[in-house]
Amino acid sequence: MVSLPMKREVALTAIVSMLLMFAIVPSFASSLSSFNEQNAPDFHLTDLSSNQHSLSDYQGSIVVLDFFSVECSDCQASAKNVLVTLSNNIYNNSSNADVKVQFLSIETTGASADTINSTYVNSTGITWPILTGGDNLKNSYSTNGMPTVYVIDPAGKIVLSMAHPLDIVTLEAVIDSLLEANANATPTSTSRWSTTRSSRRRGSRASCRSGRTIRAGPPGPRST
């Protein structure tokens, strides 16, 4: 039988854990509630190789949409230090899971493919598709500043919107929660996912954070 002091200690630990989560990542809850059950607007855009992409093409995947301006220094820094870090060091093996994590960047000023390649791709190291012609699409997503990132669940609903400064801890927490929800919904594949994730995280999560600490905080000035 569990003693009363032990029950109080467990309850106190749970309360402290919740308070710490909201203190460290203050945007987590508010961002989720802001877009509860809202469908992400579909789009039809071309990448730098003139291939067509639609959001509906990625139904069933977790999609990370990165709205950026090619000359925006904050956009370049956020893509390199946050998004590329997540893609390369945390979710690079997501294709082994039941749900893939797909990153997509959308340029919003009408810049040419050559300009995007020379100015943005070379400075950030992005390897996922970069889509052009997103100047009207940013209005559909109510994007007010650059960069702004949206996380879209496998059902096509927006679960997170985050403007500059991007917080790697919050993004990872939201993506992980979606991956874990999918794993729990598909018991036959949970074991394989757990094994893959465990081995992947032991090395990659430690290495990607060893040189840089990113803390959540109030949004700073946005570049346009």
Domains along the chain with CATH numbers = 25-204 (3.40.30.10)
Residue 23 has pLDDT above 50, yes or no: no
Q: Are 63 and 151 in contact (CB under 8 A)?
A: yes
Q: In what order do the strands lie in the sheet with 148-152?
A: 38-39, 157-163, 148-152, 62-68, 101-107, 130-132, 44-47, 52-54
The pLDDT of residue 1 is 53
Q: Select the more confidently predicted residue: 55 or 197.
A: 55
Amino acid at 126: I
The pLDDT > 70 percentage for the chain reads: 64
The pLDDT of residue 93 is 64
Residue 67 has pLDDT above 60, yes or no: yes
The pLDDT of residue 80 is 96
Q: Where are the alpha helices (DSSP H) in 45-95?
A: 73-78, 84-85
For 162-218, the pLDDT digits (tens) are 999 999 999 999 999 999 998 887 554 433 333 334 444 444 454 444 433 333 333
Residue 22 has pLDDT above 70, yes or no: no
The pLDDT of residue 144 is 86
Reported pTM: 0.70
